[in-house]
Amino acid sequence: MGMIIQEIKNELKEHSDPEEKKKRIHWARQYQEKPKLYGVPSPIVRKISSKFFSRVKKKTKQGILHLGEDLLESGYSEERIIAFDWAFRLRKSYEASDFQLLEAWLKKFVHGWGACDDLCTHAFGAFIFQLPEFIPKIKEWTTSANRWMRRASSVVLIYSIRRKKHLGSIFEMADALLTDHDIMVQKGYGWMLKEASNHYPKEVFDYVMRNKKKMPRTALRYAIEKLSPQLRKEAMKRE
């Protein structure tokens, strides 16, 4: 198993681009992040992920997830993308026992908004879509001291709401995060509401109007972004 991990690392090194690395580090600093990078453009990382998954896909699910964890341990953003991608490719075989691993990955390996959103809108989001009985466990994250856990509590539901599921849980999570002071959490639950507005514009508008006095303006702006101009104008009025 160690051999294939080394092959992945070697291929990533071959495709590293100093300019790409410089650009991504500069961009990450705007969010007070310090990523560990090879400097490989994301489309190439995705191709490498697909290439190597074809070689491991006949292994057991646990075997593939263990390989993913080996990649995550390196701390490199590109290896994290591959690990999360492989976990998402296994979504048809998810079972309740996988929650513990996915949550452990979130706690241990997610240190920025890109990693949070990648894991939560794909692998973890698909898990919650399939096993919604874990939503109460997700709600526990809303009180975490870890800002990425709190952001994840909303972003993880985006996969479901895009498929018109779990609307009630969307509003419960928004309630729990409503006055959160952290801008990345505000943007996270605002994004969740924005995605919900694609299918349920009236419900999202009504929610915003009920809560706009307490809702941070950042979250509000995200939530109403896809509503009609008239509804956006109404929601933005200060009372």
Residue 238 banded pLDDT, cuts 50, 70, 90: confident
* pTM for the full predicted model: 0.93
Selected residue with higher pLDDT from 54 and 21: 54
Per-residue pLDDT at 32 exceeds 90: no
Please tell me the predicted confidence (pLDDT) of residue 44: 95
**Residue 54 to residue 49: CA distance in whole angstroms:** 9
**Residue 232 to residue 90: CA distance in whole angstroms:** 39
**Residue 41 to residue 56: CA distance in whole angstroms:** 23
Residue-wise pLDDT for 75-110, tens only, equals 999 999 999 999 999 999 999 999 999 999 999 999
Please tell me the predicted confidence (pLDDT) of residue 37: 85
Residue type, 195: E
Selected residue with higher pLDDT from 36 and 196: 196
Q: How far is CA 208 from CA 37, 175, 231, in A?
A: 39, 11, 10
* Token pair listed for 11: 């291929």
> In order of start, what are the domains of the chain with their CATH numbers?
1-93 (no CATH), 95-239 (1.25.10.90)
| CA-based max dimension of the chain | 63
